[in-house]
């Protein structure tokens, strides 16, 4: 039988089954590795690279020519590759490999044209307990710059690596500056910053007397360039240099709430030329990161800024250079009903692009765009198994908090939810909510999904979490509370010192909003989240124990004192900013008391509702002890908890077998307390590494059919 025909038959059977069991999308469609991820284009525009699982389910690098259907396996690594980049040497790729979640990633290079795959990678650095970072990778050069903290864990020395002869030499001895170190297009170190005691930043330029091949961090090699006030540090940062390296682009936060895009002659920050003033949301950018990690579209050769994107409810593209206006007009028209174009790869000659679309209902379709012909050709879907399934929509809306802050949030309702019509409502405000698609005919079961960071934000687009939970019958509420990025420095800085207080009140106010407007049932609202979202879950279970039906904490800190005591060493260069965010320093008696007052650990005896905690044993950001000590406190108070520990994971769960088990455990747990649907699950189903501990009244006992069992640990 033709394999393609067989796959179509299987998809149709699964779709038919979905109608029978209530349109539950199989977990495997959502939490297994996508067929295509980290999609990029070679500098010559001839080859597409991407990550995909090999026959053993491990993420490896594949390539295919832009006109080919067949893909080639390039690597056969035993650990997941988490990212890769093309380089200035034809057919040479550099890539990061995961090390069981400890974020001390290893760096390798590989030539994709070598015969007899799998190709053997060259080790650039795989030292234990060393965090390797790419400082600069300009596609016009045969060298890259990398950072290694193998001498001083706090700071990264900068090394030049020759991609042709594999020579590695140090060009900067760094005893002072955190990352990033800012480099121009010729790989010359130009700028660095240092944090001051009050959380402000001083940017320094390299002095004219410094040896570019032997830079130090001493005062002799650096000259003060610019001082940025504490309240402006988030919005003020370099973006990159003009093609001739004479001018430098910045995001600028002084005297503006949302920020500006500016440029000035290097050395003259007082003479900014404003290129764009943010209208509705911040412009986001990560220096020297890949193109799809930012809201700024830059020409690969001449470094002209061509367009920027602001995301409030949905993305809005502003074209800044008329040479690409017709390109964006064409790309917008191509999928104007379902998504906003996002350029994820361009050739150095700028003639060939890879484009995807940001959409809540379509999980990343990729197109090859030929600029001279102004024609886009469909390539593939990241998750083709989701084709034909009806996915939930993300509806952006605003609400007002108890202290009169206007916040942005998203609501996702289960597909096929019956909605109230504006014409049915006499109240104009309610009618406006109905016009947005916010008002179901009957209140819903709901999950409040709290984002991490907290200097992060919820964004519009495809979300496997939203799709998964809505297919299980839950509405999903996602709040950009104070302390979130994306909505201006006033809102961001309003979160300073408000962990467990006003940041949590914002979430409670959003919950009250959806209850008041008939969107959710008070008795069936659960809270979950990762990192800060896990902390918010623990706060919800302890500080407001009667609000939520249950909670799922994923790698969340429980004690802000021990959180600060165990942060990664390479974060210490920004320690003052972290303590400003938390509200106190652990190194004073008053500070420790303040941090304890905001730490769920010391209120564990207040937990009244079911709680599940998931933790990676190798987490460098939120150490395992954060979960261990909270679980111990619950057990000391005879309070039930389900604890899931992954010995081969870190700050979140990258390995698909672990993510699948996480989803299986979570949806069954939520079913018990919030009463949504769940897909059948058994402990050994996905060959996960998880260790699960629970007590007699926990949901896991009910899943496996035991009426009474002692606490134990099982591996699956």
Chain-centroid distance of CA 533 in Å reads 13
How buried is 3 (Cβ within 10 angstroms: 0-12 exposed, 13-18 middle, 19+ buried)?
exposed
Please provide the size of the chain in residues: 716
What are the beta bridge partners of residue 425?
Answer: none
Cα–Cα separations (whole angstroms), residue 46 to 67, 100, 342, 371 = 8, 34, 20, 14
Which of 486, 461, 454 is CA-nearest to residue 312? 486
Angle between helices 502-516 and 532-542 in degrees, nearest 10: 70
Two tokens, residue 408: 């942005």
Catalytic residue among 392, 531, 627, 689: 531
Q: What is the DSSP string of 300-347?
A: TTT--EEEEEEESSSEEEEE-SGGGHHHHHHHHHHTTTT-EEEEEEE-
Q: Give the three-state DSSP class for 538.
A: helix
**Other CB atoms within 10 A of residue 176 CB:** 19
How buried is 300 (Cβ within 10 angstroms: 0-12 exposed, 13-18 middle, 19+ buried)?
middle
Cα–Cα separations (whole angstroms), residue 86 to 117, 141, 320, 350 = 18, 11, 27, 15
Is residue 184 flagged as an active site residue? no
Bond into 435 cis (ω within 30): no
Residues 6+ apart with CB under 8 A from 402: 505, 509
3-state helix, strand, coil in the chain (%, to 5): 25, 30, 45
- Pairing label, strands 132-136, 143-152: antiparallel
Q: Give the Cα separation of 355 and 41 in Å (integer).
A: 10
Which of 153, 103, 286, 104 is CA-nearest to residue 570? 153
Residues 283 and 251: beta-carbon distance below 8 Å? yes
Residues 55 and 710: beta-carbon distance below 8 Å? no
Catalytic residue among 234, 451, 651, 686: 651
Q: Give the Cα separation of 586 and 558 in Å (integer).
A: 15
Catalytic residue among 83, 553, 619, 648: 619
* CA–CA–CA angle 399, 402, 403 (5° rounding): 105
- For residue 148, the surrounding DSSP H or E stretch is strand 143-152
Which of 531, 529, 679, 505 is CA-nearest to residue 611? 529
Is residue 313 flagged as an active site residue? no
- Pairing label, strands 247-252, 222-228: unpaired
Cα–Cα separations (whole angstroms), residue 144 to 38, 122, 218, 278 = 20, 14, 24, 33
Is residue 463 flagged as an active site residue? no
Q: Give the Cα separation of 278 and 309 in Å (integer).
A: 9
350-357 contacts: CB < 8 A, separation 24 or more? 350/299, 350/300, 350/301, 351/45, 352/41, 352/45, 352/66, 353/41, 354/39, 354/40, 354/41, 354/48, 354/379, 355/331, 356/39
| Residues annotated as catalytic (active site), given as ranges | 531, 619, 651
């Amino acid at each position: 039988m033709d394999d393609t025909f067989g796959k179509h038959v299987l998809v149709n059977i699964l779709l038919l089954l979905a109608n029978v069991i209530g349109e539950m999308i199989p977990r495997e469609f959502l939490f297994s590795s996508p067929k295509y991820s980290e999609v990029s284009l070679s500098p010559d525009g001839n080859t597409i690279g991407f990550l995909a699982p090999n026959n053993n389910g491990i993420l490896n690098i594949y390539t295919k020519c832009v006109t080919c259907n067949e893909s080639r396996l390039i690597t056969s690594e035993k650990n997941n590759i988490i990212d890769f980049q093309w380089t200035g040497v034809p057919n040479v790729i550099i890539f990061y490999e995961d090390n069981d979640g400890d974020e001390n990633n290893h760096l390798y290079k590989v030539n994709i044209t070598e015969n007899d795959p799998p190709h053997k990678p060259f080790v650039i650095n795989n030292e234990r307990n060393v965090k390797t970072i790419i400082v600069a990778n300009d596609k016009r050069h045969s060298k890259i710059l990398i950072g290694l903290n193998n001498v001083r864990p706090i700071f990264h020395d900068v090394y030049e690596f020759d991609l042709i002869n594999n020579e590695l030499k140090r060009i900067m001895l760094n005893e002072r500056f955190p990352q990033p170190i800012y480099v121009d297009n010729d790989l010359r170190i130009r700028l660095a910053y240092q944090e001051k005691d009050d959380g402000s930043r001083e940017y320094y330029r390299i002095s004219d007397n410094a040896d570019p091949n032997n830079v130090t961090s001493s005062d002799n090699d650096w000259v003060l360039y610019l001082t940025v006030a504490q309240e402006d540090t988030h919005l003020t940062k370099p973006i990159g240099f003009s093609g001739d390296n004479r001018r430098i682009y910045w995001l600028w936060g002084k005297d503006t709430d949302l920020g500006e895009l500016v440029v000035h002659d290097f050395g003259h920050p007082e003479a900014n030329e404003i290129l764009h003033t943010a209208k509705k949301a911040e412009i986001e950018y990560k220096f020297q990161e890949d193109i799809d990690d930012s809201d700024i579209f830059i020409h690969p050769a001449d470094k002209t800024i061509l367009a920027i994107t602001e995301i409030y409810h949905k993305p809005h593209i502003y074209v800044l250079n008329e040479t690409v206006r017709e390109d964006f007009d064409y790309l917008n028209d191509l999928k104007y009903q379902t998504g906003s174009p996002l350029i994820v790869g361009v050739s150095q000659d700028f003639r060939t692009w890879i484009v995807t679309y940001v959409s809540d209902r379509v999980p990343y379709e990729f197109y090859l765009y030929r600029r001279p012909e102004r024609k886009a050709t469909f390539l593939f879907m990241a998750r083709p198994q989701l084709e034909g399934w009806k996915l939930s929509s993300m509806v952006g809306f605003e609400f007002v908090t108890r202290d009169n802050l206007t916040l942005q949030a998203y609501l996702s309702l289960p597909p096929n939810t019956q909605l109230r019509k504006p014409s049915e409502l006499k109240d104009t405000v309610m009618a406006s909510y109905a016009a947005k698609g916010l008002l179901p005919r009957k209140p819903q079961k709901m999950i409040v999904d709290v984002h991490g960071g907290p200097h992060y934000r919820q964004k519009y687009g495809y979300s496997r979490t939203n799709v998964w939970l809505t297919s299980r019958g839950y509405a999903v509420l996602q709040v950009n509370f104070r302390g979130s990025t994306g909505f201006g420095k006033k809102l961001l800085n309003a979160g300073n010192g408000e962990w467990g207080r006003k940041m949590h009140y914002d979430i409670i106010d959003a919950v009250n909003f959806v209850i008041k407007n008939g969107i959710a049932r008070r008795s069936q609202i659960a809270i979950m989240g990762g990192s800060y979202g896990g902390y918010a879950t623990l706060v919800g279970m302890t500080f407001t124990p009667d609000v939520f039906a249950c909670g799922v904490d994923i790698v969340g800190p429980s004690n802000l004192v021990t959180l600060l005591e165990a942060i990664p060493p390479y974060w210490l260069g920004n320690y003052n900013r972290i303590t400003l965010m938390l509200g106190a320093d652990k190194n004073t008696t008053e500070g420790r008391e303040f941090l304890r007052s905001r730490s769920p650990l010391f209120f564990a005896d207040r937990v009244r509702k079911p709680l599940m905690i998931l933790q990676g044993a190798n987490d460098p950001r939120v150490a395992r002890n954060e979960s261990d000590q909270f679980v111990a406190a619950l057990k000391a108070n005879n309070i039930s908890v389900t604890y899931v520990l992954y010995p081969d994971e870190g700050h979140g769960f990258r390995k698909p077998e672990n993510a699948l088990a996480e989803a299986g455990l979570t949806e069954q747990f939520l079913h018990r307390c919030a009463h949504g649907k769940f897909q059948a699950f058994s402990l050994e189903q996905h060959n996960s590494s998880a260790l699960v501990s629970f007590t007699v009244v926990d949901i896991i006992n009910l899943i496996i059919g035991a009426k009474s069992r002692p606490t134990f640990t099982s591996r699956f």
